[in-house]
Amino acid sequence: MPTLTIDGRTVSVPEGKTILEAAEAAGVRVPHFCWHRALGALGACRLCAVTVLDGPQKGVRMACLTPVQEGMRVSTLDESSWNMRRSVIEWLMANHPHDCPVCDEGGECQLQDMTVAGNHAVRRQRGRKRTFHNQDLGPFIEHEMNRCIACYRCVRTYRDYCGGDDFGVLGSRDRVYFGRFRPGRLLSPFSGNLVDVCPTGTLTDKTSRFRARPWDLEEASSVCPHCALGCAVIPGGRYRELLRVRADPRPQPNDGFLCDRGRFGYGYANRADRPRQARLEGRPGTLAEAVAALRERVEGIARQHGPEAVLLLGSARATVEANALLSLWARRLGAADPVFDLAARRDGAARIFARAAPALRATLADVRQADLTLVCGADPLAEGPLLALALRQAARRGAAVRVIDPRPVPLVCEAERLPLAPTLVPEALRFLAGGNGAGLSQEVLQPLAETKRLFDAARRPVVIGSAEGLGPDGVRALLALVAGASRPDRDAKAALLLPGPSSFACARLASAVPNAQDLRRRLGGGKIRAVVALEVDPLAEAPPAVTGVIEKAELFAALDYLPTATVGRANLFLPSAGPYEQDGAFCDFAGRLRAFARVLRPGTPILHTGKGNHPPRTFSPDVPGGDAAPAWEILAEILGISGGLSGARAEIEKAFSFLQGLAGLRADARDERVLPGGEPPAPPGAPAGPEPAGLRLLLSDPFVGWEPLSAHAAVLEVLRPEDAVYLNPAELARLGLAPGARARVEAQELSEIRVARAADLPPGLAWVVRRRGSALSRLPAGEVFACRVAREEGA
Amino acid sequence: MKLWRSIRGTLDAFWITLRTLFRRPATIAWPEKRRAPAERFRARIVLTRDPQGKERCVACYLCSAACPVSCISMQSAEAPDGRRYAAWFRINFARCIFCGLCAEACPTRAIQMTPDYEMCRRDPLSLLYEKEDLLIDGPGKDPHYDFYRHAGIGVAAPRGTLPGERPPEDPGSLLP
Ligand code: SF4
Ligand code: SF4
Ligand code: SF4
Ligand code: SF4
Ligand code: FES
């Protein structure tokens, strides 16, 4: 640990660190453009000049490139390095346009800050300025090349960190150009990170182009609600409109990066058709009326027909508080636990994982540090995109990535795939744990044995699955594998991708034993008379057998902020606040509780109330469309819990001991609280049913198009996959389907027309990617169903 | 002593009134008579146009940031030709203190102070000026300044064609 002094402050840092990192540790700010915590040093901008007063090489040095040495004395205020930095700014500004007023970076621009800090006000250079043409980079990123300072942060982010290959640097000398070979949409699902890393206005967020200045934005530390990974985000809004989402630059949990779904999928909050008014039997009313009606009617039905007539539906996207209060309500009514997930298999898998020992549950940081990663029955890019990025960081450090999956799972790093029928994946996991591989064919066992050798040799292996893909049986095998492999010198961990930001807590709130049969019995008995859907859309997510019962209920109440099918059908509707419009907590896929703070109050954006023009010239103390309240607040009111959020949290902590510590979480400090493990449910006695014969249908989720929030964000429409059914080429030929032909897919009495496409799949498998609103998508993902695929004649 | 001070204080006031009665008043009989304010008098604010007659304001929010009483609000937007402009722009003159900081902050010379101080109303709502009320037809002070001709991002004229700009580079070229 060399010790050095920087501007008179003494600091010790580990061997191999640079002066710049030591300065950060000492709290001395060294100006820089090209250095970035996650991307490292490059030495391109020369702004980080400091003077080494004492050390092996005295004089002006680049702080980001010079390793620290024992006894160094460094000054950032010395005249020689100060002059150098000032000159660097002046050179950079020589070609810079004169356009801060129309530049979206203005107000948070590093170049602007440095120009002011360097006292540069008048351009002394007399020559003409260099110009470039811009490119259309698609609907997310705006390009203004004249503003570029050639720091190479974008290329290092896009190509090195995110694994994209359609953006890079072109040209030579002072003409270097950062863009695509041809104009067009950036194809990486992590393209939005360019906005955060570019220190100038060259690459800016097109979805909020010219909408606001950063100093006018209301911002808060929040947690991304678009998947279970719980990335740290800082959303910003103004005039009751959510305008952008940026990554929290702090390293944990997501290393300061986001996926495009989490960054650009915020449009659901601003929709003109967002339901903002309470509705009672088709009649508009106030929220207070609707809350009173909900309590009275549910309690009335429970009194009259017994608590089993009440079905409460929890949700993976509602806050932990709202779900916990829903559980509490069920207890008070004497009703069965709420159903947190209508997909029974996924639900069962999540409940097992939610009770695994905390030491076995991998976080994103664990994945980034892993030396071997296995992806089994999971599609990280769709179900937890940042996990795919974490896998890439592991691969960049030399980790091998193996995929065991029937689908050609896309990743952003090199990976070796073993295609395996979906039902065989758990068996493969058992083989890796030392099983005999019964049921696996010889050509599978051979590569699997090779993977097992790698796994046994790895010191920090992480095995990644998904609740959907693995099911209860697979999750048991997954946990057995990592538990068996963990030794004092070896840290094997498992990650399970879950459907939403509260899934883990929901799975914990639910009883250990899945109540799938129980649910079927409850629905089948014809007893259900009241259904309360808490921020969930059962009509789009459950098969007809379930939705039929729900729709027939005497009371069908919905709390939501999205214009879903369920909201349209409900006979009692309560507008709830969106995730960025309330304080609350989510629980990530590794069981870490994280609190988030409110960004905006709910209300109709001024953009809509003014119809694009100025706000109406009338005054009223009420906020238009501002009736919505956080779901936890509505439920606390029903339960008679006072004291706002802290009152509700205190009550929740009392009722659910594993949520202890919820009240103490601070959003700004990004506190986290690890949920303890629990008693895992005993394995079921009965083996899984027989595999359906003939063609089987497998459904899975896309990056965009299924996750409920981003599916309601219009700007992401371009990322929606085609409505296709994928088959392997031999199967296509057998069915007489040419790639691109229209095919009718039928399963479980649902049918839909899709475009036939060839894909690298095991024989006998038809694969469909779900889209919210399509008929087949009401079947749960991950399970296999007998199906029929036939050519559809006619137009 | 105290008593004497009180008596003097009372009489003084009467004396001043009496004396002033025969002086020429400092006030004028507005509105029959009007003062000509100085050229740089700071009163009613206007939004000006550039020499081509286009709106100068680019809705950069600098004036609203500079305003110490926060009486300027606006919403920026993008026009089809790439110009940034104010979809709406509102000044609440019931709150404005005519300090002129907005005009000083404006990088495009769009917002300017005029000498028109005659703007008292009974209804505060009528002091809420929208963009149509603020926009005038001419350039006001600095009549030749056109921000977009200096901005260097190809809005007023194709990129690289204005004085002070080189023609756009060809990033495909690898020549030294
Ligand atoms: S990049 Fe920064 S310095 Fe350049 S125009 Fe934009 S805000 Fe101004
Ligand atoms: S585009 Fe931005 S990040 Fe890339 S080199 Fe230019 S200034 Fe740096
Ligand atoms: S990976 Fe998940 S949590 Fe992270 S930004 Fe993307 S959608 Fe949000
Ligand atoms: S400072 Fe000038 S250009 Fe900017 S918003 Fe105000 S009036 Fe418009
Ligand atoms: S930060 Fe050191 S050269 Fe750019």
CB contact under 8 A, B171 and A132: yes
Does the beta carbon of A157 lie inside 6 Å of ligand 2? no
Distant-in-sequence, close-in-space partners of B140: CB < 8 Å, separation ≥ 6: B46, B48, B109, B112, B114
Task: Give buried/exposed letters for A10-37 (b at 16+ CB in 10 A, else e).
Answer: ebebeeebbbbbbbbebebebbbbbbbe
- Taking CB atoms and an 8 Å cutoff, what residues of chain A touch B90? 614
Distance between CA atoms of A113 and A100, rounded to whole angstroms?
Answer: 12
Amino acid at A165: D
Nearest to B127 by CA among B99, B92, B100: B92
SS3 A295: helix
Q: What are phi and psi of A21, to 5 degrees?
A: -70, -40
Task: Report the nearest atom of ligand 5 relative to the CA of A48.
Answer: 2
Nearest to A114 by CA among A42, A199, A211: A199
CB contact under 8 A, B76 and A612: no
Q: Determine the distance separating the centroid of ligand 4 and the alpha carbon of B108, expressed in angstroms.
A: 7
For A746, the enclosing helix (H) or strand (E) is: strand A742-747
Q: Which ligand is closest to the CA of A108, given by its number?
A: 1
Distance between CA atoms of A41 and A81, rounded to whole angstroms?
Answer: 19
Distance between CA atoms of A575 and A589, rounded to whole angstroms?
Answer: 28
Task: Give buried/exposed letters for A539-566 (b at 16+ CB in 10 A, else e).
Answer: bbbbeeebbebbeebebbbbbbbbbbbb
Number of CB atoms found within 10 A of residue B98's CB: 14
pLDDT at B39: 83
Return the best residue to mutate from A24, A30, A46 for the ligand 5 pocket (most ligand atoms within 8 A of CB): A46
Query: For the purposes of burial, counting CB atoms within 10 Å of the CB of A486, is it exposed (0-12), middle (13-18) or buried (19 or more)?
Result: middle
Alpha helices in A728-771 (DSSP H): 729-734
pLDDT along chain A (795 residues), means of 10: 92 93 94 94 94 90 94 93 94 94 95 93 91 96 96 96 95 92 95 97 96 96 96 96 96 94 96 95 94 96 92 95 96 90 90 93 95 94 96 95 93 92 90 87 90 93 94 92 89 95 94 65 81 94 87 93 95 96 96 96 94 89 93 96 95 94 93 89 62 86 94 94 93 91 92 93 92 92 91 76
pLDDT at A684: 67
Distance between CA atoms of A281 and A64, rounded to whole angstroms?
Answer: 65
Task: Report the nearest atom of ligand 2 relative to the CA of A200.
Answer: 7
CB contact under 8 A, B164 and A606: no
Distance between CA atoms of A354 and A341, rounded to whole angstroms?
Answer: 14
Does the beta carbon of A200 lie inside 6 Å of ligand 2? yes
Does the beta carbon of A151 lie inside 6 Å of ligand 2? yes
Of A98, A146, A172, the CB nearest to B150: A98
Number of cross-chain residue pairs from A and B with Cβ atoms under 8 Å apart: 111
Distance between CA atoms of A471 and A783, rounded to whole angstroms?
Answer: 8
Task: Report the nearest atom of ligand 2 relative to the CA of A155.
Answer: 4
Residue B17 has pLDDT above 70, yes or no: yes
Q: Which ligand is closest to the CA of B61, given by its number?
A: 4
**Helix A631-639 × helix A287-305 angle, to 10°:** 50
User: DSSP characters for A680-724?
Assistant: PPPPPSSPPPPPPPSSEEEEE--SSSSSTTGGG-GGGGGGPPP-E
pLDDT at A173: 87
Please, what are the domains in chain A? 3-93 (3.10.20.740), 126-270 (no CATH), 278-341+506-606+629-667 (3.40.50.740), 349-498 (3.40.228.10), 696-791 (2.40.40.20)
pLDDT at A685: 56
Nearest to A530 by CA among A334, A327, A306: A306
pLDDT at A526: 78
Q: Please, which residues bridge with residue A62 across strands?
A: A49
Please, what are the domains in chain B? 45-149 (3.30.70.3270)
Report whether A230 contacts A319 (CB < 8 A): no
- Taking CB atoms and an 8 Å cutoff, what residues of chain B touch A146? 152-153, 159
Nearest to A549 by CA among A531, A537, A574, A570: A531
pLDDT at A514: 58
Any CB–CB contact under 8 A between A610 and chain B?
yes
Q: Determine the distance separating the centroid of ligand 1 and the alpha carbon of A107, expressed in angstroms.
A: 9
Q: Would the CA dihedral through A528, A532, A537, A541 be positive or negative?
A: negative
Give me B20's structure tokens: 């002033």
Give me B175's structure tokens: 């020549």
Distance between CA atoms of B54 and B63, rounded to whole angstroms?
Answer: 19
